[in-house]
Structure 1
C-alpha cells in the first residue's frame, strides 16, 4: 500500500478541488447576465444548480461508496467534475453553464468519502489528525480559490475559470488512481433506488424554496409548493426507509443522540460559515462613501483568505486536541470562536484590520468545528455506515449554507439604498446580518454542549491497523 502520508495528501488535494467549486464563479457572478445574455433570475441558477447537486449527490454517493467502494465513487465524482468543467468551458449559453455547474457540484461528495477512506486505511493514531486536515479543506479551498478566481478573471477570458477547474480535476483524478488504495470494506445488500429518488425529490423541493424564495417571494405559490411538497416527500421517504431491509440511510443510526445533535450543529455552523462568506466580502467591496471600504474583489478576497490558511494550520492541532480532550470539546471551542468573531464584528468594524481579525477567528472556529464533526459521527456509527453517515453530515452542512445564502441575501437585498445607479446594502442590513450569523454560532454552541461526552461501548469502532 502507498505511504499513508501520500494517501492523506491526495485526499486533501481532492477536498481542496471540491470546495474550490463553490467560489469558482464569484468573480463573474454579477456580470453573468451580460456575459450570458440572460436575466439575473436565470443566471442565479449558475449557483443554485451547484448547491442542489451537492446536497443531493453527497449522501447518495456516500451510500454508493459504502456498497461499491469509496475510491471507485471518488473517481466517478472527479470524472463528473472534469466533464462539467469542459461543458461549461465550451458553453456560451445559460443552459450549458448550468449543466456544467450542476456536474461540478456533484464532486462535493469526495470530502465525506475521503474522510471515510481515512478510517478504513489509516492507523487509529493517525485518523484524527488526517480527518482534521481533510475537513479543513471545506473552508480552505473556498478561501484560497476566491483570489485565484479573481486573478484568472482579471487576466483572461472568463471561460478560463472552467478550463482551470477541468485541469485541476484531471490532475486530482490521476493522483487518486495512482495513490489511493481500493476499498476492501463493503456494505452488503441492494442499492435503494426508490430511497435515492425520494431523497433527491424531497431535498430539491426544500432547497428550491430556501434558495429561491427571495426571488419568487416567500409567500408565493412556487415557494410554498416546493417547500411543503419537499417536506411531505421527505416524511414519506423517512417512513419508507424505516421499513425496508437495505435503506439508503439507516435512520435509526442517524437518530442516535450524538449523531443527531452533531448534524444539527452542522446546520448552525454551516450557516455561520457561509454567512461570513457573504457578508464580509460585500462590506469590504462597498464604496467608502456608503459605509464600506471600497476594496477590489481581489483585495477583499485577500482579507478573507487568511481564515482558510488558519484552518489548514490548525488541522494537526485539531487532531491532537481531539485525541486529548475529545471531539466534543473541540466542537464547543470552535463554536465559541465563531461567537467571538461575530461579537467582535458587531462591536468593531470601522477598519479593515477589524474584519481581518474576525475572519481569523472564523478560521479558528470552522477549523475546530468542521474537524470535530466527522470524528463525532464516526465514533457513533458502524464502520460499514461511515460513507453514508458522513454524507448525511455534509448534507446538513449544505442545509446551513443554503439557508445562510437565502436569509443573508434577503436581508442585504431588503435593506438597501439607491447609490451610484444601483441598490446597495445599508449599515442596518449588515448589522442584522452579523446578528443572524452570531445567533447561528450561539445555537451551534448550545447544541454542542448537549452532545454526549463519551461513546457507548458498543459504538466504539475497532482499532485500525496498516
Structure 2
C-alpha cells in the first residue's frame, strides 16, 4: 500500500463511509416533492417526467454490480471515489437542466453513484479492526434508510422555500465533500486479490436483463400489465438473464460468480433480501399517502409535504440508532438470528398498522414506521455480515453489490404490487379516485405477510461456522499504531 495514504482512524472511517451512503441515498427521494411540478418545470408530459425517477432506478441497478466487481479488481476505495464522480456530475447536470432529456441523463448519472453503499461495506472489512467490524457494517447498512428518510423533508423544505435547482447543488456539494473526506482520511483497502479481467459482455447482458425486468415492473401499471410492451419486456428479461447466467458459468472470472451466489448461505440470504426489500418499501408507500390525504376521507391526516417528511424522518434515524444493538445481537447469536428477528419486527410493525390506519393520529403512524424501520435496521446490518461470512475476501464487493441489487429488486416489485393494490381499491372523493381505507389495510397485510415469509427464509439459512463469520480486517502495521488512540472513537 502507498506509504502516503491516510492512517486508519476507525471512528472517522466509519463516519465518512456512512456519510457517503447517506448522500447517495438522498438522491432516491430527492425529486419526490417535485413529482407534481416536473411536467411544468421541464415543459413535458407527466409520462415523460416519470422517467426522472425511473432513470435513477435503472442506472443504479446496472451500475451497482459493475462497481462491485471493479472494486474487487482495482480497489474499493478507488471505486468509491470513481462512483462519486457520476453522482457529482449528474447533480450539476440536473441543477442546470431546463428540459426533460438532460434531467433524465443527470438522474441516470446520479443512479450510477449508488455503488457507494456496497463498496463502503466491503471496504470496512479490509480497514476496520475486527472488534468494530460488526457495528461498522450495521451503521453503514443503515445509512441508506437514513439518507432516504432525511432526503424527503430536506427536499420538501428546499423546494418550498427556494429554487428547486438548489436541491441538486446541495447534493453536488455533499458529494464533493464526501470525496474530499475519503481522500484525506480513508486508507486504501488490502492488496487486490481478485483475478482475471473485467467481463464486459457479462456487464452488458446483466444490464440489459435488469433494464427489461425493472422497466416492466416500474412502468407496467402505466402501460398495462397485459400489454405487448410489458409482456415483451418480461419475456426479454427472462431470455436475457438466462443467457447471461449461461455465459457467466462458462467464465473463470465472471462479473458475478454464480457458483458463489449458489452457495446455500448466499442464496438464502439473497432470497431473504428480496423479501425484506419488499416489506421495507411497502410502508414507505402507504404511510406518506395516509399522512397527506385529506382529513375528510376519514382516514387521511391532511399533512403538508414538509410535515409528512418530518413525520417520516424519525423512522430513518431509528435505523441508525438501532444498528449497534443489531450488531450486538449478531455477535452474540449470529447474523442469521438478527435477520430473522428484524424480519419479525417488520411484520409486527405492519401488524400494528392494521388497526391504527383509521386512528386519525399522526403519532400512531409514527409508531408504525419506527417499529418497521427498527426491523429494517436489524435486517440490513445482518445481510452483509452473512454474505461476507460466506465469500472470499477477493469477492466481497461484488457479492455485496449483488445483495444490494436483490434488495432493490424487492423494493421495485413492492412498488408495483402495492401500487396495483392502491390503484384498484379506491373510493370516490369529490369526483377523484383515492386509495380506500381497505386498500391501505390490504397493503399493510401484504407487508406483514412478506415480513413473516422473510423471517422463515432467514431461519432456514444454513450457516456453517467454518465459513459463516466475517474474517478479521487486515490492517497494516503502520495503521495499527495510528489507531491506538482512536479505540474510543
Question: Taking structure 1 as the reference length, what is the TM-score of the superposition?
Answer: 0.97
Correspondence 1:455 to 2:467: no
- Please give the alpha-carbon distance, in whole angstroms, between the structure 2 residues aligned to 1:373 and 1:275: 19
Alpha-carbon deviation of 1:462?
Answer: 4.3
Is the counterpart of residue 260 in structure 1 residue 234 in structure 2? no
The structural deviation recorded for 1:421 is 5.8
In the alignment, which residue of structure 1 is the partner of 2:82?
A: 76
1:324 aligns with 2:332: yes
| Native 8 Å contact 1:66 1:185 kept in 2 | no
**1:410 aligned residue:** 420
Identify unmatched segments of 5+ residues in structure 1: none
User: For 1:83-136, what per-residue CA distance to the aligned partner results, in whole angstroms no more than 9, with x for missing partners?
Assistant: 000000000111111111111111111110000000011111111000000001
1:24 to 19, 30, 39: 30
CA contact (8 A) 1:58 1:109 kept: yes
Q: What residue is the counterpart of 1:301 in the other structure?
A: 309
Judged with a 3 Å threshold, the aligned counterparts in structure 2 of structure 1 residues 310 and 461 are, in CA distance, closer, same or farther, namely: closer
Give the drift of 1:418.
4.1
Cα displacement (A) at 1:62 = 0.2
SS of aligned partner of 2:253: coil
Contact 1:266 1:393 in 2 (8 A): yes
Residues 93 and 106 in structure 2, CA contact (< 8 A), matched pair in contact too: yes
Per the normalisation by structure 2, the TM-score is 0.93
Distance in 2 separating the partners of 1:253 and 1:456: 17
Q: How far apart are 1:56 and its partner, in Å?
A: 0.9
Q: Does 1:230 align with 2:237?
A: yes
Aligned to 1:100: 106
Superposition pairs for residues 41-440 of structure 1, below 5 Å? 41-186=47-192, 187-290=194-297, 291-349=299-357, 350=359, 351-420=361-430, 422-440=432-450
Deviations 1:44-81 (A, max 9, x none): 11111111111111111000000011111111111110
- Distance of aligned partners of 1:434 and 1:3 in 2 relative to their CA distance in 1, 3 Å threshold: same
* CA distance in 2 between partners of 1:302 and 1:420 (Å): 28
The separation in 2 between residues aligned to 1:372 and 1:188, in whole angstroms, is 28
Aligned-residue offset at 1:408: 1.4
In the alignment, is the contact (CA less than 8 A) between 1:82 and 1:170 conserved in 2? yes
C-alpha distance in 2 between matches for 1:33 and 1:272: 31
Would the aligned equivalents of 1:185 and 1:384 in 2 still touch at CA under 8 Å? no
Alpha-carbon distance in structure 2 between the residues aligned to 1:318 and 1:433: 27
- The structural deviation recorded for 1:460 is 5.1
5+ long unaligned stretches in structure 2: 1-6, 476-489
Number of equivalences: 465
Relative distance call for 1:44 and 1:444 in structure 2 (3 A) is same
Query: For residues 459 and 293 of structure 1, what CA distance do their matches in structure 2 show?
Result: 47
Q: CA deviation at 1:329?
A: 0.8
Q: Partner of 1:417: helix, strand, or coil? A: strand
Residue deviations 1:1-54, cap 9 Å, x none? 231111111101001001111110111112212222222111111111111111
Task: Determine the C-alpha separation between the residues in 2 that align with 1:185 and 1:60.
Answer: 20
Q: Contact conserved, 1:140 with 1:311, CA < 8 A, in 2? A: yes
Deviation at 1:461, TM superposition (A): 5.5
**Superposed displacement of residue 389, structure 1:** 0.2
Residue aligning to 1:464: 473
Provide closer, same or farther for how the CA distance between residues 233 and 404 of structure 1 changes in structure 2, counting only shifts above 3 A.
same
